[in-house]
Amino acid sequence: MARGRDRSLPVSRARRPPVAREFSAGGLVYRRAHGRWMVCLGGRRRAPDGPLLWSIPKGHVEDGERMVDAATREVREETGLHAVVDDEPLGDVTYWFARRDGDGQPLRVFKRVRFYLLRYRAGRFADRDHELDAVRWFPLERVAAAVAYDSERALVERARERLEAREEE
């Protein structure tokens, strides 16, 4: 038999790291330009020379802050754009990840992110913080291919359906 723990046996709950829950909110900002829908994505690199991974801007919900307010604040901070929520949430994305707590102990984190569709009002990318490595407008028809995460790709598709429905009204 191979050395090490028999993986067929269940792990004792007493040895599992504790679980923390985190909440974030974000938004897909849209505008109409040159007769077509454009949406804003933020890009991050996992390594200094790595490729940009494009995603919907998001961030932590502060204590006492409503999700919708966190979404508009985070979008403004990360992109420099002022936008307003004009629809129901696009949806939630949930996932697990691991990190160490303040004492260096392992911690499992369950994260829920609520995303909204936000209508652009004003602002410039130059007025953003530098949490993201890049920010840019994408034509709506090309944004699904640019988004790095499948869970966000589904939200982009939902946003596309909503925006295209507005053209038919």
> Is 6 a residue whose pLDDT tops 50?
no
| Predicted structure pTM score | 0.85
Query: Is 8 inside a domain boundary?
Result: no
Strand, coil or helix: what is 49? coil
Query: Is 9 inside a domain boundary?
Result: no
Tell me the pLDDT of the chain averaged across its residues. 91
Q: What is the pLDDT of residue 166?
A: 84
Q: What is the pLDDT of residue 168?
A: 65
Query: Is 12 inside a domain boundary?
Result: no
Look at 20 and 15; give whichever has higher pLDDT: 20
Query: Is 6 inside a domain boundary?
Result: no
The pair phi, psi for residue 124, each rounded to 5°, is -135, 145
When divided into structural domains, the chain yields a total of: 1
Which domain, by its residues, includes 44?
A: 20-168
| pLDDT tens digits along 101-147 | 999 999 999 999 999 999 999 999 999 999 999 999 999 999 999 99
Say how far apart CA 71 and CA 4 lie, in whole Å.
46
SS3 content of the chain, % helix, strand, coil (to 5): 25, 40, 30
| CATH code, domain carrying 162 | 3.90.79.10
